[in-house]
Amino acid sequence: MKTIAIAMMISCCAMAAEVAEIKRGDIWVKPTFAATVLPEKVVRLKVDAEEWQDFVIEEIQPHGAQVKKGQVLVRFDDKDYQKKLRDAQSASASAALQLQNAEVEYKTIKALLPSQLQAAQQKAEHAAEAWKYFQTTRRQAEIREEDLSLRQTELRLESAREELVQLEKMYKADDLTENTEEIILKRQRETVKAYETTLDLAKLSHRRKIDVALPREGVELKRAAESAEAEWKQTEQNLPRQVELKRMAYEEARVAQQRRTDAWERLQKEQSSFVIRATEDGWFYYGVMQEGRWTVSEAQKALAVDQSVAPNKVFACLVPQKSKLRWDALVDESTVRLLRVGQQGHALMTGAAEQVVAFRLKEIARVPNADQRYPVVCEIDSADALSAVVAGMTAKLQVNVYRQPQALLVPEKALRLNQDGAWELQCLQADQSIKSIVVKRGMTWGERVEVLSGVEEGQKIQIVE
pLDDT band at 202 (very low <50, low <70, confident <90, very high): confident
Closest CA to 111 of 248, 246, 254: 246
pLDDT over threshold 60, residue 12: no
> What pLDDT is recorded for position 175?
55
Over residues 44-93, the pLDDT tens digits come to 999 999 889 999 999 999 999 999 999 999 999 999 999 999 999 999 99
Same domain, 60 and 119: no
- What dihedral angle (degrees, nearest 10) is formed by the CA atoms of 380, 384, 387, 391? -20
> What pLDDT is recorded for position 173?
66
Quote the Cα angle for 144-145-150, to 5°: 95
Same domain, 437 and 372: no
Q: Average pLDDT of the chain?
A: 87
Of 359, 382, 400, the one marking the end of a domain is 400
> What pLDDT is recorded for position 465?
67
- Contact status, residue 442 vs residue 457, Cβ threshold 8 Å: no
> What pLDDT is recorded for position 6?
40
Alpha carbon distance 354, 350 (integer Å): 10
Closest CA to 429 of 398, 385, 461: 461
- Contact status, residue 313 vs residue 108, Cβ threshold 8 Å: no
Alpha carbon distance 234, 45 (integer Å): 65
Helix (H, G, I), strand (E, B) or coil at 314: coil
| Least trusted range by pLDDT, from 181-185, 338-342, 356-360, 412-416 | 181-185
Instruction: Determine the average pLDDT of the residues in 435-446.
Output: 89
Same domain, 244 and 312: no
Instruction: Determine the average pLDDT of the residues in 407-421.
Output: 90
Q: How many residues does the chain have?
A: 465
Same domain, 200 and 123: yes
Instruction: Determine the average pLDDT of the residues in 277-283.
Output: 95
DSSP tag of 213: I
| Least trusted range by pLDDT, from 175-184, 230-239, 333-342, 414-423 | 175-184
Closest CA to 378 of 396, 359, 397, 392: 359
Same domain, 286 and 393: yes
Is the C-alpha dihedral spanning 320, 321, 324, 330 positive or negative?
positive
The range of the structural domain enclosing residue 435 comes to: 16-27+403-464
pLDDT band at 16 (very low <50, low <70, confident <90, very high): low
Same domain, 248 and 303: no
Q: In what side-by-side order are the strands of the sheet with 72-76?
A: 275-277, 72-76, 55-60, 308-309
- For 140, 151, 160, 190, the CA distances from 154, given in Å and listed in that order, are 21, 5, 10, 16
- For 140, 152, 154, 196, 199, the CA distances from 189, given in Å and listed in that order, are 36, 19, 16, 11, 15
Same domain, 387 and 449: no
> What pLDDT is recorded for position 107?
92
**Beta-ladder partners of 27:** 404
pLDDT over threshold 60, residue 432: yes
Helices 79-133 and 214-269 sit at what angle, rounded to 10 degrees? 160
11 lies in some domain: no
Instruction: Determine the average pLDDT of the residues in 360-364.
Output: 94
Alpha carbon distance 68, 278 (integer Å): 7
pLDDT band at 14 (very low <50, low <70, confident <90, very high): very low
7 lies in some domain: no
89 lies in some domain: yes
329 lies in some domain: yes
**Beta-ladder partners of 375:** 330
- For 110, 122, 235, 371, the CA distances from 114, given in Å and listed in that order, are 8, 12, 11, 70
Of 239, 268, 297, the one marking the end of a domain is 268
Of 350, 365, 400, the one marking the end of a domain is 400
Percentages (nearest 5) of helix, strand, coil residues in the chain: 50, 30, 25
Over residues 373-394, the pLDDT tens digits come to 999 999 987 776 677 788 888 9
Same domain, 130 and 215: yes
CATH number at residue 98: 1.10.287
- What dihedral angle (degrees, nearest 10) is formed by the CA atoms of 116, 118, 123, 126? -170
> What pLDDT is recorded for position 282?
94
DSSP tag of 302: T
Same domain, 121 and 211: yes
pLDDT band at 356 (very low <50, low <70, confident <90, very high): confident
> What pLDDT is recorded for position 10?
42
pLDDT band at 343 (very low <50, low <70, confident <90, very high): very high
CATH number at residue 20: 2.40.420.20
CATH number at residue 56: 2.40.30.170
Run of H or E including 100:
helix 79-133
Rg (CA), the chain: 58
Run of H or E including 233:
helix 214-269
> What pLDDT is recorded for position 8?
45
3 lies in some domain: no
pLDDT over threshold 70, residue 283: yes
Q: How many CB atoms lie within 10 A of CB 336?
A: 19
pLDDT band at 174 (very low <50, low <70, confident <90, very high): low
- Contact status, residue 433 vs residue 388, Cβ threshold 8 Å: no
pLDDT over threshold 70, residue 11: no
Alpha carbon distance 229, 124 (integer Å): 5
63 lies in some domain: yes
- Contact status, residue 410 vs residue 461, Cβ threshold 8 Å: yes
Helix (H, G, I), strand (E, B) or coil at 237: helix
4 lies in some domain: no
- For 107, 118, 242, 254, 369, the CA distances from 110, given in Å and listed in that order, are 5, 14, 9, 17, 62
- For 19, 58, 355, the CA distances from 345, given in Å and listed in that order, are 37, 46, 14
List the alpha helices (DSSP H) in 134-213. 139-172, 179-208
Instruction: Determine the average pLDDT of the residues in 306-329.
Output: 92
Same domain, 417 and 365: no
First-last CA distance in the chain: 28
Same domain, 145 and 64: no
273 lies in some domain: no
pLDDT band at 397 (very low <50, low <70, confident <90, very high): very high
| Least trusted range by pLDDT, from 15-24, 132-141, 283-292, 353-362 | 15-24
Same domain, 153 and 215: yes
Number of domain units in the chain? 3
